[in-house]
Amino acid sequence: MASPSRMNPDAVQAVRALARASRVLERVSGELNLAHYRVLAAIGSGDERASRIAARLALGRPTVSAAVASLCQRGLLTRAHDAGDRRAAALALTLEGEALLDRVESEMVARIEDLCTRTPDGARVLESLRWLGAAIDEKHAERRAAREGRDR
C-alpha cells in the first residue's frame, strides 16, 4: 500500500472532501441517518428487494435487513411477499416515507447547491458528482455480471 506521501495529493483531498460531504449531508438530514436515507432512496428509485439494495449499496444483507425493519417500524416502508418468489419481500415507500424522502432530499440538495456556489464552478462540481455516480453504477454492474458469471 502506498504511503500518503506517495499518493496523489489531489485524490487524497478529494477522498477527504467526500467523507466530509457525507457527514454534512447526514447532519442536514436529521430525520434519517445516511444508511436509512440510502435504503429509502434505493427503494424510491425502483429497487424493491433487500438483496438488490444490499448489492447496489455495497452493504451487508444484515445491515439492510435491520434498516428495513427499522424503516417499516417507523411507517416509512411496507413489506409484502413477492408473488413470484415467496422467499423474497417486495419493499415500497409509504406516503409518509415518500414525504420524508422528498423533505430530506430537498434539504440535502439545498446544502449541496450552497456548497457548490462556494466553488469556482459549481455546475461543474455537480456534473462531476453525477459522473462519479454513473461510474459507481457501472462498476456495480460489472461486479454483478462477474458474480452471475461465476454462479452459472
Give the distance, in angstroms, between the CA of residue 47 and the centroid of all CA atoms in the same chain.
12
* CB 100 within 8 Å of CB 32: yes
**Which residues does 9 contact at the CB level (< 8 Å), separation at least 6?**
none
pLDDT value at position 2? 58
Quickly list DSSP for 43-109: HHTT---HHHHHHHHT--HHHHHHHHHHHHHTTSEEEEEETTEEEEEEEEE-HHHHHHHHHHHHHHH
Percent helix, strand, coil in the chain (nearest 5)?
70, 10, 20
Longest CA–CA span in the chain (Å) reads 55
Q: Which pLDDT tens digits describe the chain residue by residue (152 residues)?
A: 556 668 999 999 999 999 999 999 999 988 899 889 999 999 999 878 888 888 788 788 888 889 999 999 999 999 987 666 667 788 999 999 999 999 999 999 999 999 999 999 999 999 999 999 999 889 988 988 888 888 77
Asked whether the whole model's pTM tops 0.85, one would answer no
C-alpha cell recorded at residue 93: 415507500
